[in-house]
Structure 1
């Protein structure tokens, strides 16, 4: 059994326990995550209670905690004002969505999507580390070609285009 302390991307420290089998740690038990919430004034007991309820309630804001405390739902705990919580700020961020694009394709090869993937650490049986895909927007047909080097894309595309057009 080994303990490990890992620094999470949010800056919090995470303590986990696990068993090492075949160079892989299997997680056991619960995770204790240090919080980024900071509070001012009040007693240490109030500060800890505020942190705990803030986390338990999904990083609730000060007003929400006060309303819940006034209703007596926090087991008689007095709450204080949290100054800053990185998790709460990150939780308020919204993902930027791509606008929906309308492609008015009337036939095959009017609009083609392409993607190149690689470098694969392990090559295929033929020694290939990359692949390129072509998707026809009209028919939704997909073609996949493997490559040893990225610079083969143009040649593969030109051969593919000739093949599809004929």
Structure 2
């Protein structure tokens, strides 16, 4: 996407820089194997960029396929994840809407009384 705008990317020492016409337009710093955007210079064409301050719990939530808060707590109790992720997790609306459960069908009530009623319904 950035190359279509004529930008050039360089990264070294945990810092990512994006250049356009020999100007720095974006600087990102590596945090937990992801680049967090530090500085952005506005261009004529704007792309959507998230600049939320994510906690470690938020990063784990996204990396583990949007796992629930209870799932994160269970993994931390088992010792798979560090205990520090039990802090408040940002509530993502698309996660809440996407994890709604479907309703089961109600059980059918059989209204047939005689044996011939079953035979007639199978024809």
TM-score past 0.5 threshold: no
Which is bigger in relative contact order (C-alpha 8 A, separation at least 6)? 1
TM range (shorter): 0.3 to 0.5
More strand by share: 1
TM-score for the superposition, normalised by structure 1: 0.29
TM-score for the superposition, normalised by structure 2: 0.36
